[in-house]
Amino acid sequence: MAELAVDNLSLRFGGLTVLDNVSFAVETGELFALIGPNGAGKTSALNCISGIYRGTGAVRFRGQDILGLKPHQIARQGLARTFQHGELFAQMSVLENLLTGRHARIGTHPLAEMLFLPSVKRAEIAHREAVERIIDVVELERYRHAPVGALPFGLQKIVGFARALALEPTTLLLDEPSAGLNREERENLARFILRIKHELNVTIVWIEHDMQMISDLADRVHVLDYGRTLAEGRPEVVLNDPAVLAAYLGTAA
């Protein structure tokens, strides 16, 4: 059974077809890249999976239909995501951002929180420990108390990545995690992606524009163009497909 299966997913905004019968299946532990030229519908596909947009078709996560569920219900099932532009809470510290990302796993009752009962304190400490493990994985120890807005952009991207990881998801949706990063930061990111794939065994759906990173890291690649599937398969095969090259570079007239 596939970890995440998308069947005939379509999305329309008025007369504009953003996604047209897109289907793919991601296996457990796989690093699945979603690529395509600008406006191909990659982020829209991610938004449909995480429940922000409502498409038609079917999205099954670990055998369960999640299409039509609210985003917070989908996150609760263990499907976390990052955002293209970070969308971090700038006023909050790195720790607070990560703890917020872990919200779905913290089940303390507001009435108990008002009095900060021992049970709440125990929960806060336990979740702090869990979040510290994530901080350790992505090497943010130095910055745990810094307000996120004060950090350089490259680090902010890593915080966004860590915030999604803080949920301890079984599947992680990454929306262009490397956009705007320099070479060194990209190499760090690649290291972290491989680490969570191999150490935490997280399934990853990854939108990316850096073909070098994709051919080095991805297990499989799915190419979208104008909302349709163009190709799918091993990176070395797909990235040499004439149709894919044409979509990216254009064809000679």
Partner 1 sequence: MFRSTPRASGYYRTGYGQDLALIQTRTERISLAILVTLAIALPFIAGPFLLDLACQVFLASIGALSLMLLTGYAGQISLGHAGLIAAGAFTTGILAREIAAPFWITLPASALTGILLGLIFGLPSLRLRGLYLAVSTLALHFIVIYLGGEYETKRGFSTGILIDPPSLAGFKLTDGRAWYFVLLLAAAASLMICINLLRSSSGRAWRAVHARETVAEALGINVAGYKLLVFVISSSMTSVAGCLFAYYRGFVSIEAFDLFLSIQYVAMIIIGGMGSLLGALLGAAFVTLFPYLIESLLALLPNIQKFAGDIFAVNYTAFGVVMILFLVFEPLGLVGIWRRLQNYFLLWPFKYRPLTGARK
Summarize as ranges the residues that interact with partner 1 (CB under 8 A). 50-52, 70-72, 75-76, 80-81, 83, 87, 89-93, 96, 99-101, 103-104, 106, 108, 110, 113-116, 120-121, 124-125, 128-129, 132, 143, 145-147, 150, 163, 167
Tell me the closest approach of the beta carbon of residue 198 to partner 1, in angstroms. Answer: 25
Q: How many CB atoms lie within 10 A of CB 113?
A: 14
d(CA 26, CA 45): 14
Which of residues 83 and 161 has its CB atom nearest to partner 1 in the complex? 83
Beta bridge partners of 174: 206
Residues forming a β-bridge with 207: 34, 175
- Nearest approach in angstroms of CB 205 to partner 1 is 14
**What's the angle, vertex CA 84, arms to CA 178 and CA 60, rounded to 5?**
105
Distance CA 86, CA 95 (A): 16
- Smallest distance from partner 1 to CB 250, Å: 34
Q: Which is nearer to partner 1, 53 or 248 (CB)?
A: 53
Nearer to partner 1, 101 or 227 (CB): 101
The CB-of-73 to partner 1 minimum distance in angstroms stands at 8
Contact 74, 61 (CB under 8 A): yes
CB of 22 or CB of 148, closer to partner 1: 148
CA angle, 191 then 95 then 163, to 5°: 50
- Which is nearer to partner 1, 6 or 120 (by Cβ)? 120
Q: Are 95 and 112 in contact (CB under 8 A)?
A: no
Q: Which residues lie across from 93 on neighbouring strands?
A: 147
Which residue type, as a one-letter code, is found at position 72?
Answer: H
Q: Shortest distance, CB of residue 98 to partner 1, whole angstroms?
A: 10
